[in-house]
Structure 1
Amino acid sequence: MLERGTIQSSGFSNLGPAGARTGFRLRLRQPNYRGMRLSLIEGVDVVVDGEPYPAAGNRLLFQGQTYGLADLDAATETRWAVGETIDVLIDRPGGLIPGVHRVETIVWMRHPYFPPRFWPVPMRDAREATIVL
């Protein structure tokens, strides 16, 4: 079941096997009131406990395919519908320690019905989320 807001606590987890964590993942719900193509996303900035993870280093996992920031412009046929989630994959050797973390995100989006001078539009969210293992 989807939660309110963009950040979904159900997808907040470490990546890689225990003892060899390579990073963590964060699940986001579509922040817009209607669906959009992935090519309209200009990246996702993440801050966890005050530590920034800029969009340039993050990858998106959507419908079984991983997209780097440079890949998004070409994803003109891939649609992120309202109600669908996307995972942000963040490299961080060792992952995050189990427990409660303060998570903030900015999804940078272009709205095709806004003039380009207003692009990108920041869609912000923040909440506390827990990593169990």
Structure 2
Amino acid sequence: MLDPQMIQTRGFRNTADGFEVRLRLPYYRGVWTDLIVGASLTVDGVSYPPSAVRWSIGGSADAARWPVDVPAVLSVSRDAPLSIGFHTVAAELRLTMSYIPEELQPTVWTEERRLVITR
């Protein structure tokens, strides 16, 4: 089951080459992945632009659709793992909605949460 917030508490962890965090789609229905403009992450004041964030949806890097009940896994490469303990994580997600006029695009969701890395 997913947290109601966009940034999920489960899945925040170190990886072999950096860290990953999971996002729930904040929109009420699924979206095609070509409508995802990108996401930026900030961890403890260090910003990672959309170009530094790799996506995986449902275990696939080339998924065609992001369903509302499947978290996206966002991965970031860094030289050292994040320290064990609490971190302030902020995400900014940008989506294009096919039915909203271009001059009002993209739709932006932002959120900040305190997450913990346990190992």
Whether the TM-score (by the shorter chain) exceeds 0.5 is: yes
TM-score by length of 1: 0.85
TM-score, structure 2 length as denominator? 0.94
Per the alignment, residue 45 of structure 2 pairs with: 50
**Which aligned runs of 4 or more in structure 1 are off by greater than 6 angstroms?**
none
RMSD: 1.2
1:117 aligns with 2:99: no
Whether 1:132 and 2:107 are equivalent positions in the alignment is: no
Q: Which residue of 1 aligns with 2:22?
A: 27
Gaps of 5+ in 1: 17-21, 68-74
The amino acid of 1:57's aligned partner reads A
Letter aligned with residue 52 of structure 1 = S
CA distance in 2 between partners of 1:98 and 1:119 (Å): 38
Residues 1:81 and 2:76 aligned together: no
Distance 1:111 1:95 in 2: 35
- In structure 2, stretches of 5+ residues that fail to align are none
Cα deviation for residue 66 of structure 1 reads: 2.3
- The alpha carbon displacement at 1:4 in A equals 1.8
Provide Cα deviations, 1:44-95, integer angstroms capped at 9, x if missing partner: 100011110110111001122225xxxxxxx6xx111112101000011112
How many residue pairs match? The answer is 119
